[in-house]
A and B are shown apart, each in its own frame.
Chain A
């Protein structure tokens, strides 16, 4: 019969052996641990691709905006040119000379002096006078005086008496239809009396 101590003693070497066995240094077995490569590469390449594509899109949109800018600037300059034209038309219409000429065409005249009504005490200051058209200011200069060449003195002709048929015959010494203008002209004025003469012919 074995006592617990004997049992213990007989078990001890087995435990000790196991412990010694365990305590003995041995090389750790090589365990090949592989991290999954594919997801990392995918991630990096996705980031790269995303960056490149994003930059490309960004640049493209800026160029697009630049096209839009150019066309809007053209539109703006066209509109501002139109505004200029309209403003110039407005200036022409507002020109006091133009307004006055239109008013005169409509028959308006310069006003006479007005009467003023003082509202505080109901007094009337001044006398209202109707306009005097003869007092209108001339807004267009008068036509220039023509020089004597263009404004010849009228020729006064006495109606001839009966005996003037002889003078008609005298004046026909000049060849009618002479080539030079001067002679023809003189011919004309001389025979003018003849033409006015109620001849018996």
Chain B
């Protein structure tokens, strides 16, 4: 048996200390530390686990919005009337920029052409982490400015994609195309076809590390749907030329405004629709308010003698008259309320119906229009398209005013016969005259190629073109022969509208205008000329309207030369050969 040693008692004051106490203290410390861990664990997992998880997941995640490219607006040959270019917006984080805000504001104001004080205010916005400093700046300008700012030591400035809408041809077709505000379209086709042009933005979420995308990290992409292009029937060069001719006409005759419409006779497509004065779509605010719309559709006016074409062709269609019908036209015609006069004073003259058109005699027209049965003229004019919108897809179109059956007294009919007491818009009237050019069949005018849906849900375009016969082909041909006499230098009132080498048929118009102040005819005139060429095989119908030419000119002297210039340009551009036939020689007097 081994001897046991008695347990040795350690003397007090030994250097080694009590193992038990050390153990206890150690356990206590460990327990404290572990309880801190446990408490933190409860806080992280028990109280609000999701926000921490989201923060962890967001670390290194980038969310990028994929901009949808806005659709272009193109002319009939695919040339852009409106397109999008890459631009950038400059954004700031006021938390980081507020200390050096004055210097940074000065820098940005000089580099980006901004207002110093408003930029300073934005850079100092308290409580915000994101402010727009500049929108829709050309990409290189923005990136250069931000890079230079960073080199100078300014922080908190960044760029984001922000496309710019550009109108390459400035003011050409600006009245139709419209313009954009900062974020939304404000006028014209841009606004009407916004859903089609805008598309849908997409988004992309992916993980980054060190500036590069992590290949196997989380990545979701919702692709952007780009906007669809809008094809118009406008011919860019013809529209430009028509606008320049119209501007010159307005300036030379010191007129208030003007409109010119060029239509393709057979298809009804509008090749040009010019308004003057107009605006530069890239800088819309630099033009006065009333220059920013499409006056050719929104402003209704009394058409004047051009309407005689519709009246007399309806009469010929009814078989009541022929181009050779003889009329004795007095100098003054007393009708119910007021005597009717011609534009030129005369005694009793003997005019044929062709002469009534060639000399533009109101009285002769009224005498012929007496042969209408009640309600006939109104139904013809409705079939010609007057009093209804053309629905070509332009906003704010006025339907014009055609008095209703109840308002249609005999006096009203007399006046409507020569184009007063009713109002039309320019495209409406051009389409009505085009009916005669097209052999008596009215083709609905169209501005959009193919088809497109407006914001009102109306489908417009060449796919929806309708045709219907208004007068017989013989009536249209007779009318054309009469209209050719207007251009004749000997007998017609508009020899200036002739296009050398071609047979041109046309009609002048000089209508009294209603003044806004008095609601009566204020002594100013709307002069116009509508015509088509070549007369025996028409290709284009052109209608020029000038409001209030203060030089005292009429349809033949003011609108006629403009018509001649635009028509010769159009015929040359589309290489339309002259038909080589003799113009009509209908007798105008008997």
Across the interface, which residues of B come within 8 angstroms of A141, CB to CB?
247, 251
Contact across chains for A66 and B501 when beta carbons are under 8 A apart: no
Bits for A61-91, please: 1 = Cβ < 8 Å to B, else 0: 0110111011000000000110011011001
Contact across chains for A69 and B139 when beta carbons are under 8 A apart: no
Across the interface, which residues of A come within 8 angstroms of B580, CB to CB?
123, 125-126
Across the interface, which residues of B come within 8 angstroms of A139, CB to CB?
244
Instruction: Say if the beta carbon of A45 comes within 8 Å of chain B.
Output: no
Bits for A85-100, please: 1 = Cβ < 8 Å to B, else 0: 1011001101111001
Across the interface, which residues of A come within 8 angstroms of B579, CB to CB?
125
Question: CB within 8 Å of A: which of B209-235?
Answer: 211-216
How many Å from the CB of A138 to the closest CB on chain B?
Answer: 5
Contact across chains for A126 and B577 when beta carbons are under 8 A apart: yes
- Rounded to whole angstroms, the CA-CA distance of A91 and B236 in the bound complex is 13
Across the interface, which residues of A come within 8 angstroms of B460, CB to CB?
none
Contact of B244 among A92, A118, A137 (CB under 8 A): A137
> Which chain A residue shows the least CB distance to B568?
A113
Q: How many A-B residue pairs have CB under 8 A?
A: 94
Instruction: Say if the beta carbon of B437 comes within 8 Å of chain A.
Output: no
- Rounded to whole angstroms, the CA-CA distance of A139 and B240 in the bound complex is 9
- Rounded to whole angstroms, the CA-CA distance of A14 and B578 in the bound complex is 142
Across the interface, which residues of A come within 8 angstroms of B499, CB to CB?
113
Across the interface, which residues of A come within 8 angstroms of B294, CB to CB?
none
Instruction: Say if the beta carbon of A135 comes within 8 Å of chain B.
Output: yes
Contact of B245 among A66, A67, A123, A137 (CB under 8 A): A137
Instruction: Say if the beta carbon of A56 comes within 8 Å of chain B.
Output: no
Instruction: Say if the beta carbon of B306 comes within 8 Å of chain A.
Output: no
Contact of A96 among B86, B139, B169, B214 (CB under 8 A): B169
Across the interface, which residues of A come within 8 angstroms of B83, CB to CB?
91
> Which chain A residue shows the least CB distance to B247?
A141
Contact across chains for A113 and B501 when beta carbons are under 8 A apart: yes
Contact across chains for B170 and A97 when beta carbons are under 8 A apart: yes
Contact across chains for A66 and B214 when beta carbons are under 8 A apart: yes
Contact of B169 among A69, A97, A118, A126 (CB under 8 A): A97
Instruction: Say if the beta carbon of B350 comes within 8 Å of chain A.
Output: no
How many Å from the CB of A68 to the closest CB on chain B?
Answer: 9
Contact of A127 among B244, B245, B248, B501 (CB under 8 A): B501
- Rounded to whole angstroms, the CA-CA distance of A123 and B572 in the bound complex is 18
Across the interface, which residues of B come within 8 angstroms of A137, CB to CB?
241, 244-245, 248, 565
**Number of chain B residues whose Cβ lies closer than 8 Å to a Cβ of chain A:** 40
How many Å from the CB of B497 to the closest CB on chain A?
Answer: 14
| Known A116-B577, A123-B580, A127-B500: A91·B166 in contact at CB below 8 Å | yes
How many Å from the CB of A90 to the closest CB on chain B?
Answer: 9
Question: CB within 8 Å of B: which of A4-18?
Answer: none
Contact across chains for A84 and B248 when beta carbons are under 8 A apart: no
| Known A66-B214, A67-B212, A118-B577: A135·B80 in contact at CB below 8 Å | no
Bits for A106-119, please: 1 = Cβ < 8 Å to B, else 0: 00001111111010
Across the interface, which residues of B come within 8 angstroms of A70, CB to CB?
211-213
Instruction: Say if the beta carbon of A129 comes within 8 Å of chain B.
Output: yes
Q: Which 8 A-B residue pairings sit nearest by Cβ, starting from the closest?
A: A91-B168, A126-B501, A116-B577, A126-B578, A96-B240, A62-B215, A138-B248, A125-B580
Residues of A near any B CB (own CB < 8 A): 59, 62-63, 65-67, 69-70, 80-81, 84-85, 87-88, 91-92, 94-97, 100, 110-116, 118, 123, 125-127, 129, 135, 137-139, 141-142
Query: 21 A-B pairs, CB-CB below 8 angstroms?
Result: A59-B216, A63-B215, A80-B86, A85-B140, A87-B85, A91-B83, A91-B166, A94-B79, A95-B168, A96-B236, A97-B169, A110-B569, A113-B568, A125-B579, A126-B578, A127-B500, A137-B241, A137-B248, A139-B244, A141-B247, A142-B251
Residues of B near any A CB (own CB < 8 A): 79-80, 83, 85-86, 139-140, 166, 168-170, 172, 211-216, 236-237, 240-241, 244-245, 247-248, 251, 499-502, 565, 568-569, 572, 575, 577-580
